[in-house]
Structure 1
Amino acid sequence: MSHDEGTVRATTAAELRDLASRVAAGLRGLGAGEGDRVVVSLPNGIELLAAVWACVATGRVPVPLDPRLTPHERGPIIEDVSPAVVLDSLVGFAALVGGEREELDPEPRCRPMHFTSGTTGRPKGVWSGFWDPADARSAVLEERDLWGFAATDVNLVLSPLYHSAPLRFALGTALAGGAVAVLPAFTPEGFCEAVERLRPTTMFCVPAHLQRLLAHLQEAPTPDLSSFRLVAHAGAPCPEPIRRGAHELFGTDVVWEFYGSTEGQFTACSAQEWIDHPGTVGRARPGRVITVDAEDELWCAVPPWGRFSYWNYPGRTAQAWRDTPDGPAFTVGDLGRVDDAGYVYLDSRRTDLIISGGVNVYPAEVEAALVEVPGVVEVAVFGRPDERWGQRVAAAYVGDASESELRDAAAQRLAPPKRPKEYEQVSALPRTATGKVRRTEL
């Protein structure tokens, strides 16, 4: 299948299901059985979606990974999950797909295991466990009821499918019988061409996509966007001018945002609700209860299918969960408040987290890659405001290493979104009385 922007097409649910069933048979031929992990590290395309569907609908556990990960980043994850199969090229994918088919369950048996980094710098696999048929059905219907996925939908995928949100929207559409079209990479020109030709009805995006699109449309004609019934954005705080621009472009009855993480979903918010309650990220999704603790940390009680653990990381799992009167609740460390009407407001993201173009970047992971450079005494990584990406990654370091040496190390060890865009050599890092680096000062 071509990955040229001009040949992007809408793949029907029937085509996608057939491809997934052939992938499943190919995985069986390679010895991947129920419960086995399958690493899926493919370019953005229908193949990636089919491989994930093949796994979740046959009891295998897909582990979607960014194909840009360096061996330094990818190696520990591969070791952690001990995959039966690693799909990391379209050539390998094509060799896997033959004429045999394996029957797919009507609903997924589990969520894909996405990896999210942490403040320790160690990537953590978010594992849902296997669902029984009732929970599997409930998990699918929750998304379908919230977003209205239907057989008449055409979901346009702008973001990398190894991320949880775009994958949920694409697979949710296909499970409802709708079609999916995947842009290999987002460009405003490619988006406009796909909209005119494919007439998509839904899309998920991050604020950086909206910002680039709005800037492009200042100089180019606006395509007919009337086919959209749902434009959902998340992944980073959305600047108010971008948000209002999206409302005007697509319509307040079309635009939604939501607040969530790889671990789970918290809220959903229509454009009208945001207009009526400026600054909110919405109210708890159905079946969830959001509360704050004495430290203003947000906790979300979830239905049974919303439970997760961190793969091979029981200590971190225990820290993420606690029992509440509303049932087991988890936190990802975000701070906020809930008003009397149930609307949630984020006061701050985790203080160490940088969100660049919708991608979570944890300073500890970047610091661990850079501190080993000869001549680096210590290094602190932090985010700076960026009009296009929301935040850009920056690094301050003590030592006599050169900036080019640090950039070379980052290129070898870190995927592009994690590589600092700026380096600053300092005599000392600012610290609190207890010795913690004051990232806000940087």
Structure 2
Amino acid sequence: MDQRLITAADSEKTQRRAAGGLKRAGLDVGERVVLSLPTSGDLLAVALGALRSGVVPVMLDPALTAAEHAELVTDADAALVVDNQETLQKLVDGPAVDLADVPLARPMHYTSGTSGRRKGVWTGVLAETVAQALFDEEVELWEFEAADRHLVVGPLYHSAPLRFAMHTLLVGGTVLLPGRFDPAVALSAMTDFRPTTAFCAPTHLKRIFAAGSPLVDSFRLLAHAGESCPDALKRRVIDTFPADAVVEFYGSTEGQFTVCRTSEWLSRQGTVGRARPGRRLSVDGGGVIWCEMPSHARFSYWRAPEKTAAAWRGSELTVMDTGRLDDAGYLYLDGRRDDLIITGGVNVYPLEIERVLNACPGVRESAVFGMDDEHWGQRVCAAVVGTATAAELTEYAKAHLAPAKRPKDYHLVSELPTSANGKISRRAIPDLL
């Protein structure tokens, strides 16, 4: 099968063989298979073949360090790990088997947490009616159809790029996988492939515009999310793409909260939209956003009941972002979680990085924070107390952290600022520096 241009018919054949390969490898319904490889048509087919046979793919960044990878594989209790082309090929060479019409689970993605430890978003195997409702909601909202040609911009281990690609194929559409993001390649794909849909983070859009003028008249939908989109960039995107093609949404790996079409944003600049169909938004006294979720959108955190309990309030979910609602129900974000850094559309939590840096020889303590960056939106920075040099910290981070989580700048300081309750105050560090 062509690893770049993926038709629904070709992918269906590979999905059936991949599901047979998983069965031949001994995987049963409800078990987990770790998929940690660069984006390809075969990787997408294995994820879909797994889901449509009741096996849950655990999507991991192939750029994780060996230690990070091993920690998550152990936590996921995976029955099979696919992290090389040879194992992937064995799966897609399996005997073809029958598949369910729709995915019987959600892929498990790990999302960073304020505790510094990642947590898996887990649904398990869904009842047939629940699985169908989950599928129908996505198709109806984004109006996926067999005529769609979807351009994949982000990596498939992220939830949104995988979700858009899977649903395009499942309704009979075609998907283009240009490989690792390169703005020049994306521009060429828009010209040659004539996509009708794409999902991007604002960082992708910024880099595409910096590289040239995209040919976009074929688009019916450009969805974007993952980080705040600067007003100037948003207006340029709206002015460039066809009328009402640009749709922003707000949510997280855990769940999707809002949708905002072009006309809505133009009349209410800065909003991220109103609640998606079947959901209801509220903001508590502390400004924390809650979203009442339909039953088919429920999940738990894998083997973390206390974190699950903190995220849910009955049928309402929070990921601890803050914001406000206007009288018409439009949501405006005041801020993501206090310590969250969004760099190039990737969520990075300081505690996870600090846990690594604090184990580096010569480090007494560290504090990680984000700084505005014209290219990435935010850049990861670290203030470090101890005798370790910036060069030593750079090498240590390279060995223990995935690229997006490695600090770009190290500031060696004698002490870290603390709040009245004695906790390190990350927000105060940029001013001190």
Q: TM class by shorter-chain length?
A: over 0.9
| d(CA) in 2 for partners of 1:145, 1:243 | 25
The answer (yes or no) to whether the contact 1:214–1:245 under 8 Å persists in 2 is: no
Task: Give the counterpart letter for 1:351 in structure 2.
Answer: D
Corresponding position: 1:33 with 2:20: no
Q: Aligned partners of 2:2 and 2:393: how far apart in 1?
A: 36
Per-residue CA deviations over 1:192-219 (Å, capped at 9, x if unaligned) read 21122211110000001110111112xx
- Per the alignment, residue 179 of structure 1 pairs with 174
Contact 1:281 1:344 in 2 (8 A): yes
Distance 1:177 1:370 in 2: 47
- 1:313-338 per-residue CA deviation (whole Å, 9 max, x = no partner) reads 11111111112xxxx11110000111
TM-score after normalising by structure 2: 0.97
Kept after mapping to 1: 8 A contact 2:42/2:92 = no
**Residue identity in the other structure for 1:389:** W
Q: 1:17 aligns with which of 12, 20, 33?
A: 12
Structure 2 residue 300 is matched with structure 1 residue 312? no
How much has 1:223 moved relative to structure 2?
Answer: 4.5
Q: Which amino acid aligns with 1:251?
A: P
Partner Cα distance (1:107, 1:433) in 2: 53
Give the unaligned 5+ runs of structure 1: none
Query: 1:429 and 2:424 equivalent?
Result: no
Structure 1 residues 348 and 433: CA distance shift in structure 2, 3 A:
same
Kindly indicate whether the alpha-carbon contact (under 8 Å) linking 1:128 and 1:305 is maintained by their aligned counterparts in 2.
no
Residue 219 of structure 2 contacts residue 242 of structure 2 at CA under 8 Å; is this kept in 1?
no
Partner of 1:226: 217
Distance 1:207 1:223 in 2: 15
Measured against aligned partners, the alpha-carbon deviations of 1:216-259 in whole angstroms (never above 9, x if no partner) come to 12xxxx34321111001100000111111111111341111100
Out of 227, 244, 252, the position equivalent to 1:261 is: 252
1:239 maps to which of 195, 214, 230 = 230
Q: Alignment partner for residue 90 of structure 1, among 85, 89, 97?
A: 85
User: In 2, Cα distance between the equivalents of 1:203 and 1:253?
Assistant: 14
> Percent identity of the aligned residues?
50
Query: Which residue matches 2:211?
Result: 216
Deviation at 1:134, TM superposition (A): 1.4
Q: Aligned partners of 2:423 and 2:238: how far apart in 1?
A: 41
Residue aligned with 1:257, SS: strand
1:301 matches 2:292: yes
Contact 2:59 2:157 in 1 (8 A): yes
2:361 aligned residue: 374
The counterpart of 1:73, out of the listed 68, 74, 78, is: 68
Task: Tell me how far 1:413 sits from its aligned partner.
Answer: 0.8
CA shift digits 1:327-376 (9 cap, x unpaired): x1111000011111010110011011000011000000000010011111
- Cα separation, 2, equivalents of 1:391 and 1:69: 20
User: Per-residue deviation at 1:99?
Assistant: 5.5
**Alpha-carbon distance in structure 2 between the residues aligned to 1:99 and 1:44:** 20
Question: Which one of 256, 271, 285 corresponds to residue 262 of structure 2?
Answer: 271
Paired residue type of 2:311: A
Q: Deviations over 1:27-69 (max 9, x none)?
A: 1111111111000111112122111101110010110000001
CA-based RMSD of the aligned residues comes to 1.2
Q: Residue 151 of structure 1 contacts residue 177 of structure 1 at CA under 8 Å; is this kept in 2?
A: yes
List per-residue Cα deviations over 1:71-116 (Å, max 9, x = no partner). 1111121111111111112222112222610111001111001001
Q: Is the 8 A contact 2:208 2:214 kept in 1?
A: no
Q: Does 1:350 align with 2:350?
A: no
> In the TM superposition, what whole-angstrom CA distance separates every residue of 1:4-34 from its partner, at most 9, and x where no partner exists?
xxxx32x111111111111110111111111
What residue is the counterpart of 1:196 in the other structure? Answer: 191
Q: AA paired with 1:180?
A: V
Compute the displacement of 1:408 (Å): 1.1
Does the aligned pair in 1 maintain the 2:105–2:123 contact within 8 Å? yes
Q: Could you tell me how far 1:131 is from its partner in structure 2?
A: 1.7
Give the letter for the 2:93 counterpart: G
Aligned mates of 2:170, 2:93 — CA distance in 1:
23
**Shift, 1:177, TM fit:** 1.0
CA distance in 2, matches of 1:309, 1:101: 32
Runs of 4+ in 1 over 4 A off after TM superposition: none
- For 2:303, the aligned partner's letter is N
Does 1:139 find its partner at 2:134? yes
Output the CA distance in 2 between the equivalents of 1:133 and 1:29: 24
**Contact 1:292 1:336 (C-alpha < 8 Å) held by counterparts:** yes
Q: Give me the whole-angstrom Cα distance separating, in 2, the residues matched to 1:266 and 1:30.
A: 38
Residue identity opposite 1:401 in structure 2: A
Q: Distance in 2 between matches of 1:74 and 1:283?
A: 37
- Is the Cα contact below 8 Å between 2:282 and 2:325 reproduced in 1? yes
- Residue identity matched to 1:414: L
**SS of residue paired to 1:200:** coil
Distance in 1 separating the partners of 2:121 and 2:90: 29
Consecutive unaligned residues in structure 2, runs of 5 or more:
none
Residue aligned with 1:333, SS: coil
> 1:402-434, CA deviations, whole angstroms, 9 ceiling, x for partnerless residues?
111111111111100000000000111111010
1:290 is matched with which residue: 261, 267, 281?
Answer: 281
Distance 1:368 1:30 in 2: 36
Query: What is the total number of aligned residue pairs between the two structures?
Result: 429
What SS does the aligned partner of 2:96 have?
coil
Paired residues for 1:409-420 under 5 Å? 409-420=396-407
- Does 137-146 or 278-287 show the bigger shift? 137-146
2: CA distance, partners of 1:231 / 1:223 = 13
Q: Write the letter of the residue equivalent to 1:204.
A: F
Q: 1:391 aligns with which of 364, 368, 378?
A: 378
Q: Distance in 2 between matches of 1:227 and 1:42?
A: 31
Provide the rounded CA distance (Å) in 2 between the counterparts of 1:344 and 1:48. Answer: 36
Moved more, 123-132 or 352-361: 123-132
Residue 93 of structure 1 aligns with an amino acid whose one-letter code is L
